[in-house]
Amino acid sequence: MGEVGISRRTVLGAAAAVAGAVGLSGCGGADWYPADVTPDEHVVRSLLWEKELVAARYAAAIETGSGPSDLLERLRAHHLEHVDALTAALPEKSAAEESAAPSGEPTDPAPDTAPDAEGLRVLEASAAAARIDQAAAVSDPGLAQLISGIGACEAVHAHLLARA
């Protein structure tokens, strides 16, 4: 009598089907994400931190007279508006979570040196370029639109600084 067995092809096909079913069932919703911070929130917090740094750089440039102060003050005000919009986009947290400072982020983002108008232009242009990837990285369409709008504003800032 010959041995009756299962072919290797059948075993591999069944294993692939089981792996696919397990993979699809794990991605069914937002509850599967294993961290306290969702990917969207991570992008927003990162962008918020960047915007606070840029606002601090503008404040330093204004303080040292490194460019046309009226223009720099207007552009800094835009960055502070972006900070407000990004803060509003963060998910609601309990009072205890809000009072805890995030680890790894400086509480005083003041720069070591004040950039001039050309340095701020380069900063704005590179920030605008980074927004494309950040907008693509989020799953919420409204959040992607906010990030894209911030990038457009930064591109205009770069243009205005080039003309200054």
Rounded to an integer, the average pLDDT of 10-29 is 55
Please report whether residue 80 resides in a domain: yes
Percent of the chain with pLDDT over 70: 67
Please report whether residue 139 resides in a domain: yes
- In the three-class reduction of DSSP (H, G, I as helix; E, B as strand; rest coil), residue 54 is classed as helix
The per-residue pLDDT for 164 is 87
The per-residue pLDDT for 114 is 80
Domain count, the chain: 1
Residue 152's domain comprises 37-92+114-164
Mean pLDDT of the chain: 81
Please report whether residue 1 resides in a domain: no
Please report whether residue 132 resides in a domain: yes
The per-residue pLDDT for 49 is 95
Please report whether residue 83 resides in a domain: yes
Please report whether residue 64 resides in a domain: yes
pLDDT single digits (tens) 87-112: 999 988 733 354 444 444 445 555 56
**Over the range 122-133, which residues count as b (16 or more CB within 10 Å of their CB) and which as e?**
ebbbebbebbee
Instruction: Give residue 4's pLDDT band: very low, low, confident or very high (50, 70, 90).
Output: low
The per-residue pLDDT for 44 is 96
pLDDT single digits (tens) 40-65: 999 999 999 999 999 999 999 999 99
- More confident of the two residues 130 and 28: 130
